[in-house]
Every structure is written in structure tokens, then in C-alpha cells.
Amino acid sequence: MSGYVHLFIPGPTNIPEEVRQAMNLSMEDMRSARFPELTLPLFADLKKVFKNETGRVFIYPSSGTGAWEAAMTNVLSPGDNVLMSRFGQFSHLWVDMAERLGFKVDCLDMEWGTGVPVELYAEKLAADKAHRIKAVFVTQNETATGVTSDVAAVRRALDAAGHPALLFVDGVSSIGSIDFRQDEWGVDCAVSGSQKGFMLPAGLGFLSVSQKALEASKTGRHIRCYFSFEDMIKTNDIGYFPYTPPTQLLRGLRASLELIFEEGLENIFARHHHLANGVRAAVTAWGLKLCATEPKWHSDTVSAIRLPEGIDGVEVIQHAYRAYNTSLGSGLSKVAGKVFRIGHLGSLNEGMVLGALGAAELTLLDCGVKIEAGSGVGAAINQFRAAATATTARAA
């Protein structure tokens, strides 16, 4: 089929041409005297994306899953009590990892389509007078269901209870796209990955840690090797890694960070919200519903869209790819076959979103969903134009 394959999954996301070109270079010596000229500014600038001025950031040759493991094995000890919640495939996988690593997990199972139960967390923390809970976990953005949770509210619950537990946040599909403030919210370990808002291929796991987490790592008793903070700190401080780093990805990260800083984080957050509003307007016009059960859970990086009874989500995804060269996100686990997902994060603009919605409309019609042709695209156009008009009026 002629034309591009359109990528509208929630990661990996589209890679800007400047980033692709930055990675298109010959291999280089990762132990050369000049290598720290690349790496030391990378560590410093990556902290700015997390809004972490007081701690440090680690870059692992891994996916975000590796950074999950690095956070737990460096900072906690086997048998530690941790408070978690499960409301989608990725929060489930984090719980599964914690259990397999030997932590005592108090997991609150919530309806898929909702998010972190802050009120229940607050009750658990207030009742834990002996401070047995060593860490509280928050999946800021549940990619499987298109749900964003309130990290700041969890910090307020910890503070209200006077609880010293560490705060861990999975920000793989949020950091760099949705507002995140590590220092202000008192987040101790924040995890992300290269293939989402950072607009890179998969292969880099980012872990931004607080001073409190660094101190805890000195007494943590979990076995660690590849992900060891100690090994990383010794070499990172002079601009190197304890093993061979993916040098081309690091060059791409340099270009990606330049694009992020050029646009500005607050502008990026506003753009993602704007584009997400267009998708949500289309879903409403189609007469469909999001998997997220209430507006307070709506994600600005991915929308999981419920399909009518009798419509197979797997066939929707396959048909979009076969007929229209378009990759849409599939439903996972409990929502497999029941939803399809549109990723709207990273290097994206209105025209690209309209393309995603147009391909989705064609696919839905072909698969027997009773919607009016052009309804979703038209609603998104009206949403985008209304937002542009409002912005112009505010500026006048």
C-alpha cells in the first residue's frame, strides 16, 4: 500500500526527523575523553523534565520496566510492606513485579477505567501507626485504559497522615507529556521510558530519584547488580556507564531534549490537553464512550474507546492496519477486544490527530459501528477551532 504507515498507538510514538537524524551516525567510543561532554549535560537536562532539582537521574539501557525494577531493588528490602493499586494492565504488571521480587504487597483492586484510590490510600496510611508501609505506588497514567491519577493528592495523603513512606510513580506514558513535579510533589522514585513523550525508540529507562531515595538505597538489602545505584553513581559522576551504553539513543535523547526545551514543558502539557480534547469530542460525536469512567480520570496522552456490544476490537485494530495503513492501540487483558486506543502523545499536531480520527471513522464504519461519516472528524475540527479562537481572544 502506498503512503506512510500511520502510528497512533500510545508508544512507541512518532520520532521527529531531527531526532532520527541525530541517531544516524557512526559508532563512537563510549570511553573516549570527550564522551562526558555528551553525557553530563544529559543527566542535568533530564532532571529538568522531571522537575527534580535536589536528587539525581539514572539512564538505564532498558525499557521502563527495567527502571521499575531498579527503583524497587535499590531502595527497598525483601519483605518490605508496600501499598499499591491495580486498575489496568500496567499497574497490574507493577504489582506482579513487586510480588515476584519478594515484597509484601497490599494491593487495592479497582474498577478498570478508574485510577489510584486516594481516599483508600489515605485511610490505609492513617491506620498504619507503626509505619510498616515502606512505599506507596502510583501509576500516574494507566496506558491500557486511558486513565490519569492525581499524584499530588497522594502526597497530600502521606503528609496528612505524617507518614514517612517513600512515594513511587510510574510516569512512563505521562512524564514529558502531562504535568509532573517531582520535587514539589515529594516523589522519591519516578520512572519513565524513551519511547513515549521523549519521542525516541524504546531502549532507555529513566529513573529520577530524590535524596531520600538515595539515602534509603544505602541501607536497602535487596540483591541488585545490573541496576545498582552504586555502580551507576561511580561511573555517571565522571560521565560514563558501568557497561556499554546505547550511544545512538543518547545522541537522540540530546536532540529530543532540545525540542522539549524549545517548545517548553508547560506548552507541551497544554498541547497534549488540546489534542486530547479533540479526540474526546470525536468520541462523543460517535456516540461512544471512553474506558475512563469519569472526566477526572481522562488521560491527555491516550484514549481507550469502548466499542459497542458485538463489535470485536481485535478486528477493528486489524482492519485499520490492513485497509488504511494505520496502527491503533489494542485492548489489553480485561479490556481486550472491548476497546481500541488512540495514542495522542509525543510529536503530534492537529492534522495528525485528524488523520487518526479519519482512519478510525473509516474502520468503525467498515466494521459495522453505526456512526455518521465525518461526525468525529468534524467535532474535533470544531473543538480545535474553538480553542484557537479562545486563545486569540485571550491574547487580544
pLDDT at 389: 85
Boundary (domain end) residue, out of 239, 262, 285: 262
Low-confidence ranges of the chain (pLDDT < 50): none
As a whole number of angstroms, the distance between CA 241 and CA 205 comes to: 14
Point out which residues pair with 84 in neighbouring strands: 107
Same structural domain, 390 and 300: yes
- For the record, the C-alpha cell of 321 comes out as 492496519
Same structural domain, 302 and 241: no
Write the single-letter amino acid at 112.
Answer: W
Give per-residue pLDDT as tens, 163-204: 999 999 999 999 999 999 999 999 999 999 999 999 999 999
Instruction: Tally DSSP H helices, then E strands, for the chain.
Output: 14, 14
pLDDT at 208: 98
Boundary (domain end) residue, out of 262, 281, 301: 262
Give per-residue pLDDT as tens, 331-359: 999 999 999 999 999 999 999 999 999 99
As a whole number of angstroms, the distance between CA 119 and CA 331 comes to: 28
Say if residue 341 carries a ligand binding annotation. Answer: yes
DSSP string for residues in 284-330: HHHT-EESSSSGGGB-SSEEEEEPPTT--HHHHHHHHHHHH-EEEEE
Q: CA Rg, the chain, in Å?
A: 21
First to last CA, the chain: 46
Query: Domain for residue 75, yes or no?
Result: yes
> What is the domain range of residue 25?
17-262
Question: 282-292: string of b/e by CB count within 10 Å (b at 16+)?
Answer: bbebbebebbb
Query: Domain for residue 376, yes or no?
Result: yes
The number of distinct structural domains making up the chain is 2
Write the single-letter amino acid at 294.
Answer: E
pLDDT at 351: 97
- SS3 letters for 197-261? CCCCCCCCEEEEECHHHHHHHCCCCCCCCCCCHHHHHHHHCCCCCCCCCCHHHHHHHHHHHHHHH
